[in-house]
Structure 1
């Protein structure tokens, strides 16, 4: 089996978008196929057509699908992603995948990530160790169904964060270097608030004081988000932006409830990630699909209020509303 030189050129172009900008496609191809640099160049230029076995090896190495290249005029849209593996290192693998995806985005000089927020993006939970510990516990117990946590209850003192601290800090450091636009509304905190509330009501938080502490941690994260929005720059928790801090744009849309879609713009390519199974995402580099998604995001931002770096009144009103949601829950626990 062989493919046309035109289709082969498109295939190699898609491979190029899966490697960091500093990496060499010809080096990667030569090493993967165990051929000379000249032979790799000839394949990339379409002078030598790939055979079926070479296609299989390259697809496996670069984790791409050939489907879209053999159905160029169809309405199909190809996605790739990780599925829930339901074993005890699933969360570790998920975190490593998040780091790999962010690192790939950050490797490009032109890069930007757009979030259509339904739930507060996971990175913002990482700012506070106690809040991160709770989210890690919740994800592993209620989403990934860890057998080891089946009969366990959450306690801040268990410090689950410490087990993933190094990986979490790596993710945060890369995330803070990537320019980001987020489209929020008041419901962006609802999921996290509800998770804390339900665990408290079910007795899955050992000490009621921990519930109150978690809500206060959430208030501190809200304070930090407001400071980032005010400066229009990302920063580590409790710190001011540095020269490496990336742009942070926050939009308020009071009509549209997001769906946790996010798009990465890298170089001249866009990748859309759609949420599934709560934690996981599938991504597509389909050009027509991504351009359509990007136009939708652009329209949403145009119809939203930019509250980062400007719009002080709207910004203060928005964050005060978020605080009131959390404070109302604190009052119920303290009664």
Structure 2
């Protein structure tokens, strides 16, 4: 018996089709997942054959979706997906792999864009400079993940805490730089990183004032790089000039709103919102109503912000000079000690 075209199963497959890359075939994916023929997969997609619970489970696992999403429940619940990581070095690397996988997913779509409501300087920008990345990884592992191996460890230029993760961070940067991006900044976006450096020096976790000054200079170099991307409106790797066909980089400044590190991705005709938890980890939601609401909020913020990339030279220079002034004030305090 042929089921009505409006049934939940047909709607579900229609929704599922819009979440896979344009080059992928939904029928091939379903046939492979359920280990059935192409014709049998078509009959399920058209709603001519009902899925059983085992098949629903396989599809939910394959496409990382929930049973609620399949059933199209109209409730006030907002569905999120993500992993709970334990605080081990292996789990930390697994978290980075999750970041890379999500970026690869976004980049696999021809229509794509990411939006970042910045509270702290995005982690991607810390990866540009090896020494700054080394410090950031040391901080995360010591004060957020509480690695036992770093309990009595201090930070120095000679100790490369970035080395075990350098390959995957470079992969993350390469993919991230392929995706058009809009970032909404406030001049307080540097505060967290600068404060972490300052506190670690005060606590003796960075024994050398020379190392602290080198870290501040790294931040200045990253600011220079961000200004180059903002001026051209294009992304590029650290130390390089943007190419004309490089991914778009839009930088907005909002002097009133301090962001919360919300990360949203447009993929095809759908959106995913990633929210921060436990400082560095994230959960994501494909909930349509939630994402439309989040995007409306981001869109309103961008309309009330100043676009300083590719235009507004005066505003752009003022913003980056304010960032530099914050760093130089830290260096001046250090030299007065």
TM-score, normalised via structure 1 length: 0.95
1:72 counterpart = 2:73: yes
Q: Secondary structure at the match of 1:297?
A: helix
Match for residue 39 of structure 2? 38
* Change in CA separation of 1:45 and 1:147 when aligned onto 2, cut-off 3 Å: farther
Query: Residue 25 of structure 1: CA displacement?
Result: 2.2
> In structure 2, what is the Cα distance between the partners aligned to 1:40 and 1:51?
13
* Change in CA separation of 1:282 and 1:97 when aligned onto 2, cut-off 3 Å: same
What is the 5 A alignment of 1:1-335?
Answer: 6-16=7-17, 19-70=20-71, 72-335=73-336
User: Unpaired segments of 5 or more residues in structure 2?
Assistant: none
Q: Which runs of 4+ in 1 moved over 6 A?
A: none
Query: Residue 285 of structure 1: CA displacement?
Result: 1.1
* Change in CA separation of 1:66 and 1:205 when aligned onto 2, cut-off 3 Å: same
TM-score, normalised via structure 2 length: 0.94
Q: Contact between 1:250 and 1:307, CA under 8 Å: does it hold in 2?
A: yes
> In structure 2, what is the Cα distance between the partners aligned to 1:188 and 1:10?
42
Q: Contact between 2:19 and 2:268, CA under 8 Å: does it hold in 1?
A: no
> In structure 1, what is the Cα distance between the partners aligned to 2:229 and 2:67?
42
Q: Contact between 2:120 and 2:189, CA under 8 Å: does it hold in 1?
A: yes
Query: Residue 38 of structure 1: CA displacement?
Result: 1.4
> In structure 2, what is the Cα distance between the partners aligned to 1:204 and 1:12?
54
Q: Secondary structure at the match of 2:174?
A: helix
Cα RMSD, aligned residues only: 1.7
Q: Secondary structure at the match of 1:59?
A: helix
* Change in CA separation of 1:303 and 1:154 when aligned onto 2, cut-off 3 Å: same
> In structure 1, what is the Cα distance between the partners aligned to 2:20 and 2:259?
30
Q: 302-311 vs 163-172, which deviates more?
A: 163-172
Q: Contact between 1:4 and 1:49, CA under 8 Å: does it hold in 2?
A: no
Q: Contact between 2:19 and 2:270, CA under 8 Å: does it hold in 1?
A: no
> In structure 1, what is the Cα distance between the partners aligned to 2:167 and 2:272?
27
> In structure 2, what is the Cα distance between the partners aligned to 1:82 and 1:197?
32
Q: Contact between 1:106 and 1:177, CA under 8 Å: does it hold in 2?
A: yes
Query: Residue 244 of structure 1: CA displacement?
Result: 4.3
User: Unpaired segments of 5 or more residues in structure 1?
Assistant: none
Q: Contact between 1:131 and 1:218, CA under 8 Å: does it hold in 2?
A: yes
Q: Contact between 2:12 and 2:72, CA under 8 Å: does it hold in 1?
A: no
Query: Residue 23 of structure 1: CA displacement?
Result: 2.4
Q: Contact between 1:15 and 1:64, CA under 8 Å: does it hold in 2?
A: no
User: Any idea what the Cα deviations from partners look like across 1:121-143, whole Å, max 9, x if unmatched?
Assistant: 11111110100111111112211
User: Any idea what the Cα deviations from partners look like across 1:227-264, whole Å, max 9, x if unmatched?
Assistant: 11011111111111124420000001000110111110
> In structure 2, what is the Cα distance between the partners aligned to 1:255 and 1:168?
32
> In structure 1, what is the Cα distance between the partners aligned to 2:42 and 2:145?
44
Q: Contact between 2:132 and 2:219, CA under 8 Å: does it hold in 1?
A: yes
Q: 173-182 vs 77-86, which deviates more?
A: 77-86
